[in-house]
Amino acid sequence: MSFPIKVCVVCGEEFELKPNKPGFANRCPECSADEGSDLATKSRMDADERRSQSEANEARREAMRNLLYRKDS
Ligand SMILES: [Zn+2]
């Protein structure tokens, strides 16, 4: 899978614009990281963290369930 190539408005480097890239769409990841507001980044990270954590829990529960079923049969 390939992503559109953009030129960063800050440093002029080409970069791949990935759908979930944090920060500005016209800045490379490095320049986005430099300029990102700590608070906004942090709360977004927390939300992502929470979601991935609940996904992990869900996956673990699923695995446990599969294990139990396999034991019963
Ligand atoms: Zn840049």
| Closest alpha carbon to 18 in 29, 8, 7, 33 | 29
pLDDT in tens, 20-72: 887 888 999 888 876 555 555 566 667 788 888 888 999 999 999 998 888 76
SS3 11: coil
pLDDT at 5 over 80: yes
C-alpha 18 – ligand 1 centre gap (Å): 14
Q: Please give the Cα distance from 45 to 52 (Å, whole number).
A: 10
Rounded to the nearest whole angstrom, what is the distance from the C-alpha of residue 55 to the centroid of ligand 1? 33
Q: Is 60 helix (H, G, I), strand (E, B) or coil?
A: helix
**Cα of 12 to ligand 1 centre, how many Å?**
6
pTM exceeds 0.85, yes or no: no
C-alpha 14 – ligand 1 centre gap (Å) = 8
